[in-house]
């Protein structure tokens, strides 16, 4: 399957070679190709997908357990909210140094260690006598998740090889959507029924299982034998910063609306249950978007960079124009969910493509700016409510999505050059 004539060489190679090229930068002949699997490597890919699904579910689980945790620890719901804040801080503050450390080791070894730390972080939370210790555990968990986010995509494409990498990325990111749609609600259900500590004990046990599976079923992979690029050198690679900024703008828009979606629905006079339905639709839509945009990006990464955010934009516009018409509002939410998941998939592919000389470091830049988008999005949403009113939230978010589309429109030649570099070294 090839991309359109004006979008460069076959995407089956271009989408994925970023990681495989760095495995043996000086050897690109038949001997290297023999290391790539003929059949799709389902087992290691599913193991990675399971680990990432679990990590996403753990990231989001405190949102459904706020009251239960607050009552048990004797603190306010606001204080429990810091468990989410510290998870994000661990991610944002340590993603760059931890990635720089991790890429010095064989990937299987690095990821096994990360899962051990992830197990420990959940045990600390589960056994915490107070909110401070719980926050420490969540900070450690966020740091572990940062490394998962930066290493997993490159490892996935190394394992899958050029022929299967786009499919492998889609499978793994579909698992993250399942973590949002199913994992987090199940974690909340178990926690509210059996106690919130059981949720984190179970998470620790499952993380241990995932780590064991990874140590057995992931092949040994290592990055380039050359001296790795520095953070500054990676950021200067053509297109890397533009891709990362475009990614962060869509994430910013996503959190502008998501953070205040309940207030938005209340302003419209909709039932409080609409928020729960919305979260479910975003998760389910995410699975659809991952598969749909994944198919588009297999033919053309550039087309995917335009398609994903465009669907988000249509979703926000529909949400705004729907008023109090519940059916229209939910259609807008579904489009939003489809688009946001697809956007994450294609931006991950684009960052690996433009940053193919240092895929993990390039991904760490994308993750850092995406986390910044999360944080700024909530702030922008609050300022919007104060200055313009809660009913303008979707329109303000739409403006940031349009900004990402403007940046994406400049990336076609950069992507084409990266593809040519990979297919015609």
N- to C-terminal Cα separation, the chain = 21
Reported confidence tier of residue 3, pLDDT bands at 50, 70, 90: very low
User: What distance in Å separates the CA atoms of residue 223 and residue 44, rounded to the nearest whole number?
Assistant: 18
Lowest model confidence (mean pLDDT) among 40-54, 56-70, 219-233, 315-329? 219-233
> In the prediction, which pLDDT does 301 show?
87
Q: Does pLDDT of 201 surpass 80?
A: yes
Q: How many CA atoms lie within 13 A of 223 on its CB side?
A: 25
Q: Is the pLDDT of residue 154 over 60?
A: yes
Residue 199 pLDDT greater than 50, yes or no: yes
Can you give the pLDDT at residue 184? 66
Q: In 282-294, which positions are buried (b, 16+ CB within 10 angstroms) versus exposed (e)? A: bbbbbbbbbbbbb
- Residues 333 and 282: beta-carbon distance below 8 Å: yes
Q: Any idea which fold 228-423 has?
A: Growth Hormone; Chain: A; (1.20.1250)
Nearest Cα residue to 312 out of 358, 365, 254: 254
Query: What pLDDT shows up at residue 17?
Result: 33
Contacts of 418 (CB under 8 A, 6+ apart): 14, 238, 239, 353, 354, 356
Of these ranges, 120-134, 259-273, 287-301, 317-331, the one predicted with the greatest mean pLDDT is 120-134
CA neighbor of 185 nearest in space, from 334, 285, 56, 375: 56
Alpha-carbon distance of 222 to 25, in angstroms, equals 12
pLDDT digits (tens, 9 = 90+) for 309-349: 999 999 999 999 988 888 999 999 999 999 998 898 889 88
pTM for this prediction: 0.73
| pLDDT above 80 (res 152) | yes
Chain-centre distance for alpha carbon 350: 13
Cα separation, 370 vs 224, in Å, equals 26
**Under a CB-based contact definition with an 8 Å cutoff, are residues 261 and 276 in contact?**
no
Pick the range with the lowest mean pLDDT from 298-312, 374-388, 402-416: 374-388
Quote the distance between the C-alpha of residue 251 and its chain's center. 10
* Banded pLDDT at 20 (limits 50, 70, 90): very low
Tell me the longest C-alpha to C-alpha distance in the chain. 65
Predicted pLDDT at 6: 41
pLDDT at 31: 36
pLDDT at 425: 56
Would you call 266 helix, strand, or coil by DSSP? helix
Q: How far is CA 148 from CA 46, 56, 156, 371, 393, in A?
A: 15, 10, 11, 14, 32
Average pLDDT over residues 36-62: 84
Q: What is the spatial distance between Cα 137 and Cα 350, in angstroms, rounded to a whole number?
A: 33
**CA–CA separation, 296 and 346 (whole Å):** 9
Q: What is the mean pLDDT of the chain?
A: 81
Tell me if residue 325 falls in helix, strand or coil.
Answer: coil
Residue of 408, 406, 401, 404 whose CA lies nearest to 316: 401
Confidence at residue 90, expressed as pLDDT on a 0 to 100 scale: 87
pLDDT at 147 over 80: yes
Q: What is the pLDDT, as a whole number, of residue 359?
A: 83
DSSP 355: T
**Pairwise CA distance, residues 130 & 102, whole Å:** 31
Instruction: Report how far Cα 114 is from the mean position of its chain's Cα atoms.
Output: 17
The mean per-residue pLDDT over the stretch 357-383 comes to 83
- The answer to whether the CB of 35 falls within 8 A of the CB of 188 is no
Note the pLDDT of residue 18: 33
Give the Cα separation of 4 and 165 in Å (integer): 19
Is the pLDDT at 238 greater than 50, yes or no? yes
The residue ranges of every structural domain in the chain are: 26-217, 228-423
The first and second tokens of residue 138, run together, are 């969540």
Question: Cα angle vertex 188, ends 255, 156, to 5°?
Answer: 65
Mean pLDDT of the region 232-245: 91
Cα(80)–Cα(158) distance, rounded to whole angstroms?
A: 39
Token couple for 350: 């684009």
3-state DSSP assignment of residue 226: coil
For residue 127, pLDDT over 90 is answered with: yes
- Residue 126 in this model has a pLDDT that exceeds 90: yes
Alpha helix positions (H), 220-354: 231-235, 240-259, 261-268, 273-299, 301-321, 326-354
Between these two residues, 77 and 90, which has the higher pLDDT value? 90
Q: Is the pLDDT of residue 10 over 60?
A: no
Q: Give the whole-angstrom CA distance, residue 225 versus residue 391.
A: 54
Which residue is associated with the tokens 């974690």? Answer: 187
Fold of 26-217: Growth Hormone; Chain: A; (1.20.1250)
Say what the pLDDT of residue 305 is: 93
When pLDDT is cut at 50, 70 and 90, the band that residue 222 belongs to is: low
Specify the pLDDT at position 336.
93
Q: Report the share of the chain in percent with pLDDT over 90.
A: 27
């Amino acid at each position: 399957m090839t991309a359109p004539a004006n979008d460069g060489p076959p995407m089956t190679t271009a989408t994925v070679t970023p990681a495989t090229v760095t495995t043996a930068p000086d050897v690109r002949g038949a001997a290297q190709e023999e290391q790539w699997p003929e059949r799709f490597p389902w087992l290691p890919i599913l193991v990675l997908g399971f680990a990432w699904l679990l990590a996403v579910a753990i990231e989001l689980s405190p949102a459904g357990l706020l009251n239960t945790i607050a009552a048990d620890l004797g603190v306010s719901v606001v204080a429990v909210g810091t468990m989410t804040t510290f998870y994000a801080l661990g991610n944002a503050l340590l993603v760059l140094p931890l990635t720089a450390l991790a890429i010095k080791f064989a990937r299987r070894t690095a990821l096994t260690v990360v899962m051990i730390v992830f197990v420990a972080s959940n045990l600390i939370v589960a056994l915490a006598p107070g909110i401070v210790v719980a926050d420490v555990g969540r900070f450690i968990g966020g740091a572990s998740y940062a490394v998962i986010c930066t290493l997993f995509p490159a490892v996935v494409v190394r394992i899958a090889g050029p022929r299967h990498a786009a499919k492998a990325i889609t499978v793994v990111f579909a698992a993250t959507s399942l973590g949002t749609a199913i994992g987090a609600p199940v974690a909340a259900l178990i926690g509210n029924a059996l106690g919130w500590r059981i949720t984190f004990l179970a998470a620790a046990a499952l993380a241990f299982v995932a780590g064991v599976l990874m140590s057995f079923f992931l092949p040994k992979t290592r990055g380039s034998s050359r001296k790795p690029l520095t953070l500054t050198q990676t950021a200067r690679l053509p297109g890397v910063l533009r891709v990362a900024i475009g990614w962060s703008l869509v994430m910013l828009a996503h959190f502008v609306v998501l953070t205040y979606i309940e207030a938005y629905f209340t302003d419209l006079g909709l039932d409080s249950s609409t928020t729960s339905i919305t979260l479910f639709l975003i998760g389910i839509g995410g699975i659809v978007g991952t598969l749909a945009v994944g198919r588009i990006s297999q033919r053309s990464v550039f087309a995917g960079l335009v398609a994903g955010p465009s669907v988000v934009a249509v979703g926000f516009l529909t949400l705004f124009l729907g008023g109090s018409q519940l059916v229209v509002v939910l259609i807008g939410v579904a489009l939003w969910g489809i688009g946001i998941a697809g956007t994450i998939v294609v931006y991950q592919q684009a960052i690996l493509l433009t940053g193919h000389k240092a895929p993990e470091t390039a991904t760490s830049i994308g993750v850092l700016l995406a986390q910044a988008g999360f944080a700024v999005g909530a702030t922008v949403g609050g300022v919007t409510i104060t200055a313009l009113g809660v009913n303008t939230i979707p329109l303000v978010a739409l403006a940031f999505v349009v900004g990402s589309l403007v940046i994406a429109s400049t990336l076609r030649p950069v992507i084409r050059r990266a593809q040519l570099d990979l297919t015609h070294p």
